[in-house]
Structure 1
Amino acid sequence: MDAAAKKAEGRLESAYGDLTGDTGHQIKGKAKQVQGSAMNTAEDLKEGTKSAAKKVAGAANDMADDLG
């Protein structure tokens, strides 16, 4: 399940808990929303790391070209 779907599921479950007064569903819904946010953060970090690695590799190639 992707992050957006997990957050949406959490919002729905939390809203259901609000409507019914079920604290358990409210808490589970909030927890799923937090999990979805964490999944987004992890994906952002992964993409940021890939981008940084590509920049370093590009700079190393440029430097090697300059030296060669």
Structure 2
Amino acid sequence: MFTAVGVEKTYERNGTQSKMVVVELDNDGYKFKCTLFGSYVDILNSYLASGETENVVVVILLAKVKIFQ
């Protein structure tokens, strides 16, 4: 379940700008943060704007675990 959605930010890397947003997820009391980049930010924003935020299923595949500063 989504427990928090951070503020959308823009960052630059190697001369290219990209959007990013941090979301917090909770699964049976285990909370973790996941950063979405690029077009995934737009997809999340349109989903949240739709108002249909019940029964959310989040699937994370091929994720890279690392610290982003």
TM-score normalised by structure 1 residue count: 0.32
Greater relative contact order (Cα 8 A, min sep 6): structure 1 or 2?
1
Higher strand proportion (structure 1 or 2): 2
Q: Which structure has the bigger radius of gyration?
A: 1
